[in-house]
Structure formats: structure tokens, C-alpha cells
Structure 1
Amino acid sequence: MLSLEFVFTCYSLSSEYEVIYIQIDKLQSTFHRWEQTASNTGEYVHLTKELLTSCESIEWQVDELEKTILVASRDPAYYGLDEVELSRRKKWTGSARNQVGTVRRSVEKGKSNSAASKYQDTSRTNLYSSQDNDDFISSESDRQQLLMRQQDEELDELSASVQRIGGVGLTIHEELSGQERILNDLSLEMETTSNRLDFVQKRVAMVMKKAGIKGQIMLIVFLVVLFIILFVLVFLT
């Protein structure tokens, strides 16, 4: 808070001092609001920047006033001042500098503590993130191994199925080869039988031609008798 002596002195000085007084009063108000704000909020960061900027601006103005007082102290009468007035002004600028310096140090200390706290939070977050990453990698590794085992089992089953299909195909091939041999043998026998039948037909035709009509009748009778005999032998005995 601004002291009563500081306020009274300010009002008894020139307008330049009044401007600085108003700025210091605003600085103190902002500083009290900064103290009541949580350090992990955006408003806290904004107020910190605002306070440091205000401190820098006020300190620069106080420096300029001190330079002016130093020049006036060389010839006070020329500037219409006396030693008492110069002492008051020096005391006022010193008090203003102390108040601004107190605010600056408090803000810088709070900023450092906030940064340290933020660093600790970040470190903990990074630690948790690292642990989460390790857990995730371990989980992914286990999942990949499980998938690989499942794929190996599926490949084994597929290999067994292929072997079974290959065995069935080989069996079918062997059966087809056997059927082909049987068909070839049957075709050969049919061809042989056909040749024999042609030969018999030709011989019969030659015999029929040589025998004439009587011979053909006798042959027919002979065949009928032979058929009857064979029928009796087959069906009646």
C-alpha cells in the first residue's frame, strides 16, 4: 500500500510526480489482484507480464526524475528550489523506487516458483507419458506376438489342408490312370472282337455264296436245331 507521507508528498510536487503516483497506485492494485490469482491460469501469466512491464516503465521514469533532481541540485536557486524541496523530491523518488522494486522482486520470485512448479508438473507428465508409452509398447509387442502365433497356427492348418488336398489329388490321378488303362484294354478287345466278327461275317458270306439256296436252307435248319439244343441245355438242365 502507498504510505500517507508518500501520497501527501506526491500531491505537493509537480504533475510529473502525480503521473508516476497514479501509475504506482495502478501497479499496486494489479499486484494485489496478481497475488489472489492461481499460478496455473492464463490470467496469472498475463498479470505477471503486465506487472513487469509497468515496473520497467515506472523505474525508467523515476530514473529520469532522479537525473533532473541531480541537475537541479547543482544550482537550486536557478530552478526556484531549496535544499528542503530537493530533499523531499529525493525522498519521494527513493520511496517510489523501493515500492516498485518490492513489486518487481515479488513478481519475479512468483514467476520463478511458477516456472519450477510447471517444470515439475511437466516432468511428472513426461514420466507418466514415458510409462504409458512403455506400457503401450509392451502391449503392442504382446499383441504382435499373439498375432504371429495365430498366423503360424493358421499357416500350419493351411499346410495340412494343402497336403490333404494333394493326397486326394494324387489318389484321383491314380484312379483316372487305372480307368484309362481299363478303357484302353476294353478298346483293344472291342477292336479285336470287331475284327473277328468281320472275319466271321466274311466267311459266312462266302459259305452262303458257295452253298446256294439249298445250302442256305440247310444251314438255317442246322442253326435252328443248334439253337434248340443249346436252349434245352441251358434252361432245362
Structure 2
Amino acid sequence: MAGRLFIPPLDAARLLPDLRLDAPLVTATNLAPRRPLSIIRLDAGTACLTRAFWGLTPPWLTVLDHAPHCARAESLQARPMFRDAFAARRCLVPAGGVYVWKPQPRFKQPFLVTRTDRRPLLLAGVWCRYHTTLTDHTDSMALITVPTSPLLAPLSDRLPAVIDAADAPRWLDPQTSAEAARALLIPAPRELLGAFPVSRRVNNPANQEPSCAHPTGPMLRWTPEQER
């Protein structure tokens, strides 16, 4: 599951061609749910970078603590909480990595899951909007998770789905059918993602030092020798 995100400074204009910047990119070493983050969504046919609350809050939700920050890909079309958003309001979250915690005999060791080439990730999500007045509104979102690859399964059984930049226009387009969008929600290729241990200071979301995201051990990654 995606409990925290690492969002370093990214060249947002290079994430997608012709991306419109409606708000500066939110950066954080250790971003926890129920905080604002940056999302990419379509606005009048143009991909734009804007902000949303991390925790899906449809208009009928009365308890903010019940706002889910993740949605399982397998249940998107079955659960009313996510069905409409998945059909028409899909988004992407640019991030540098996702924190997960591996159980140990006496504690949980945090790892940072990143691309092996350390390029930005585009994480799949859904968003919704509710109007607080006739002119004011609030946007919120949830990440979509899929099962992990066998390599990363010992660290976490689920991770946010990664959308390739080439598939981003199809993912964001509300004209793309739910079935076609669902086909993009698959575990990342085994060679794409790796993970390395980081300081246990990341356990506290108040800790935002850059050192929280620094490796404290070698990266776990797939190699061809693992198939032999």
C-alpha cells in the first residue's frame, strides 16, 4: 500500500508534452496522506498540473477521516466511491518514489521504491470535485494500487500503478473506455522498479530532511541472472 510519497523537485514541464502548469509542483521528502499534492488531469482537453487533497472526498462523504487515499484496481468499477471518478476523472501523480515498510522480527524497515533509472514516476489516480459555494470548490484524489511484482512482494503486497508517459494521454482522456483504462493498471515491468532501504526517521511524517530518502543499503533490483 502507498502510505507515503517522495516528491523531489522535478522538471514538471518535461513530464508530459505541452503540460500546462496551473500551480507549482508540491515537493516533499516524506508526504503523508491527507495533505495537498500535485496531480496531472485534463482541463478542456489540455493536461494541466494542479493540486488536490490526498484522500478522495466525494460530496456525500461526511467524515473526512474516512476519505480513502488508495483504491484497489480490481474494485474500481464495483465500488460507488470510485466508479464515477474512474470512468471520467482519472489523473496522474508525479513522484520520485513510494515508501513501503518491510516487516522485520523487531521493527519494520522502510524502503523507497523508485525507478531503477531514478526518473520520475507517473502514478495512476482518480479525482473528484465538490463545490463549497457556487464559485468555490475542492478537488481530492486517491491513488490506484495493483499487486506488486515477485521481486518487491516481500516489501509490500501492493503498490500504486505506474502509467507510462506514452500511455498518459489515453489514461487521462475521459473518452477512453473504462475497460481500456483498466487494461493499463498492471504491475510495473520487473526491470522498471527497484527499492533500497532508507533511514527509519521516515517513520515520522514530521521528518522532512532530504536524508530521509537517501539509501542506507544497496538497491534491490531485477537482474537477468535471477531467471537462471
Report the TM range for the smaller structure's normalisation: under 0.3
Q: Of the two, which has the highest radius of gyration?
A: 1
Greater share of helix? 1
TM-score (norm 1): 0.18
Greater share of strand? 2
Higher relative contact order (CA 8 A, sep 6+): 2
